Structure 1
Amino acid sequence: MTTGSGNSPDPGRQGVAVARRIVVKVGSSSLTSVDGGIDAGPIERLVAVLAEHRLAGQEIVLVSSGAIAAGLAPLTLPKRPKDLATQQAAASVGQGLLMAHYTAAFARRALTVGQVLLTAEDVVRRTHYANARRTLSRLLGLGVVPVVNENDTVATAEIRFGDNDRLAALVAHLVRADALVLLSDVDALYDGPPSRPGARRIENVAGPADLEGVEIGSVGSNVGTGGMVTKVDAARIATVAGIPTLLTSAANAGDALAGKDVGTWFEARGGRTASRLLWLRHAAEPMGRLVLDEGAVAAVVQRRMSLLPAGVVRVDGRFTAGDAVDLVNPAGTAVARGLVNFDSGELPPLLGRSTRELAAEMGPDYAREIVHRDDIVLLGRR
């Protein structure tokens, strides 16, 4: 971990300036007033920076919070609502207002924007994530600036990303971005609360060990969610998937995209992984659990095999084929997560039996795996 101010630009940061494709995420507090409602000034300044880089040849995907916050003032709501129905109503009002500002600001610079609203379900299920990738790829190919947000108007508590920081990390992987830039109202990660005298900026994070002992706040703004902890978590998701991440303030957007020494730089520390497995690990909400015997645990975790009916001893929860479920060991610890091939109601008669036996008795459709190995991600490997 490096703290203080460096005299020379970080070579990783310089890479942002020449990256082919960048995902930029901006938080609600950077776009709206404290009491809610859109603040046109910050949006105009952000768009000016992004447009400059897009017109210079870089591809930009903007992940923008602010829909719920933008709807507060028109609905005369004093603060961000806690109940889901009112959040959805505020998002319904605010999303259109937010996009109108982005559309106008980019249009003044001869650029077109396209709105992409996602739920976690959209990017966990096989066909859905393929559609999301295809749409974003085509928008970029047409020279459009995609503006991505969680679809708060329809997302339920069970299928929400929870914060747009995590969504941004997953989108960065989905579009195969060369860098992720997280913009908020804090200029960097510090080794303690920034308001504390003597707190120092953390310039570079090479891995988890660099953050040991660092106090990371979990409280977001009055109009947003998350806090610094969600941004650090997003950086972890991106970097383990091979995408370096810069965390800084929206006020520093110009310097950040120019590769200057601002914010906190999280070095990429992993290779690119299969998109669907990344989504499954970080975006999927498990709808149930399958309790495995020790032999099945070894087969799934150590030998990376599919999960067969013979190795499952109990089914917990209600789910349908295609849902995410946790695979747990006899002690109840989740060791993996996968997309199940059967409804929960179909499984009890199958447990503990071989696929050959099931096929002979119930037909060839029952000779398949409960969870295929290609649809399993191990939870112990972060």
Structure 2
Amino acid sequence: MTRGQLNGIVDRCSSNATDSRVNEHHQILRGKVVSAVESSHSDASSQEDTLAKDITSIVVNDLEEIIHLSNTTIANSNVFVASHQKGSLLYDAPTQHLQANGKRRHSLYVTTNGSRQKIRSMRISVVFNGSFVGQTYHPGQISVVLVHYKSDDDLHPSTIGCIESDTPNTMEAFGFIIIRHEIPHTTVEDGLYEVVVTAKANTNYSISLSGKIAVHVSEEVKNMLVDCIVKKNELEQCIQRASSLDAPMAILRRKLTIENNLLCQATKECDEREVEIERLELELDYRDDMKDGGASIEASIKALETEYMNWSKTLANRLKVNDSLTSEMKNVSYEREASTLAAKGLEQETDSKKAALSQAMSILWGEKASSMTSLKLNLPD
């Protein structure tokens, strides 16, 4: 998913540096700053559970899970299907610097009202290092916390997220902190999100915030219908490709049979002449007893050598043709097998989606619409 497709989900991103004289809005957050080291998983989990009590959207991992939801649940809730694509970058601040006791807030406003896509989860990654003073390296030290304002007049923002990783900076390695915010089976709430970074020592850092997307079930059904059409066309093409190779394979088999016979004949002719030449050469050992001194035998040997040379050339050509046909046969066989396997895979993939697709279509648009669409798409029974 491109960043352009996220318009309407992420409404505003900003970065604000502050000192001790902050405005009232930032003073609200001052008491909420929690060290990433000090925050515990249990605290984050309790906050996530509190937020989960007010679920307005239900997220399922795939369309198959909709079968296990009741019609009432689907009718009364916005059901979204988790996208399994790689997370999309929502916010990025590549080069930042904070002096000791400095603080900076990175803001992101999420608004998804009426959107067919929602943010399923957030992941904040912070990489940091320190600085040299003379020849002495002073490691960077920061704490990171994620807070959420449900509305513009929210005076009590919630500290959210769970720390996945908290590695300190050393002379040998960068430090990094990873915070993940995800409420099981629902989407990320709208509102203002702020990543508050507090430095305990001079620190250079970069921060990125990515989010995984969930698509509304109706959009997922439409996407799956389109995918079924594509898969159906690919299946037909694979079947046609495999069938179109049957005739060439039959012709190649016939050519190989004929060529093998010719190859065997050329080999036999060469062997026979080689044996005859050896026999005549043995007879020449007795040329002194012959009236012509073995001249007739030498003439026969010369003629046989000429024939042997011609048959050897023929044999070499037959071997080349045989190798070429064998290689071509292997390629065609491989292509046909690949097309057949691809067709089986596409058929199995389509069959695995049929039940969930039919169920979802029936729930969303009724049995008649489900049957008509399935018939029009010619989905496999």
TM-score of the alignment, normalized to the shorter chain, above 0.5: no
Q: TM-score, normalised by structure 1?
A: 0.23
Pair member with larger Rg? 2
Larger helix fraction of residues: 2
Q: Relative contact order (C-alpha < 8 Å, sep 6+): which is higher?
A: 2
